[in-house]
């Protein structure tokens, strides 16, 4: 689990960033940067941008915990790819000499369809009507890093 305390940004960009899980630029650090920008936002702002929490709980210190879980499914169709290999063949020619020849052949290889599933759970601690803390975990908690 990752914990931090700083900053602000747009939740829609962050939620959409989960879909970028396979992107080279989307990282957990990027998600941390985006989530740090949520700190200090009002609970009404959080509600408008993220919607109602999927789970909420009253904490013993009087604060509220709002939890959001997003699962992204990326389906890749099956396809054929070319694979090349060299085959060596030994034979005897008309003169009785043993010779070896190398043949390069290309043949299709079927890559079956694949489904990639990633999940990100983000938790907001609210106190006094403001976001005081954000934690997250899961392989889908990625976003493009801020520059």
With respect to residue 93, please indicate whether it lies within any of the assigned structural domains: no
Percent of the chain exceeding pLDDT 70 equals 84
Residue 111 lies in a domain: no
70-86 pLDDT, tens digit each: 999 999 999 999 999 99
Q: For residue 44, give its domain range.
A: 2-74+117-144
Predicted TM-score of the model (pTM): 0.63
In a domain, 103, yes or no: no
DSSP 129: T
Q: What are 105-144's pLDDT values in tens digits? A: 999 999 999 999 999 999 999 999 999 999 999 999 999 9
pLDDT tens digits for 59-73? 999 999 999 999 999
């Amino acid at each position: 689990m990752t914990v931090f305390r700083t900053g602000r940004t747009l939740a829609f960009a962050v939620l959409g960033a989960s879909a970028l899980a396979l992107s080279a630029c989307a990282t957990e650090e990027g998600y941390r940067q985006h989530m740090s920008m949520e700190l200090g936002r009002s609970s009404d702002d959080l509600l408008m941008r993220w919607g109602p929490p999927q789970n909420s709980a009253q904490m013993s210190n009087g604060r509220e915990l709002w939890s959001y879980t997003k699962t992204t499914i990326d389906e890749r169709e099956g396809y054929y790819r070319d694979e090349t290999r060299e085959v060596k063949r030994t034979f005897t020619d008309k003169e009785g000499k043993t010779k070896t020849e190398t043949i390069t052949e290309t043949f299709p290889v079927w890559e079956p369809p694949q489904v990639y599933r990633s999940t990100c759970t983000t938790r907001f601690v609210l106190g006094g009507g403001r976001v005081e803390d954000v934690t997250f975990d899961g392989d889908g908690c990625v976003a493009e890093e801020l520059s």
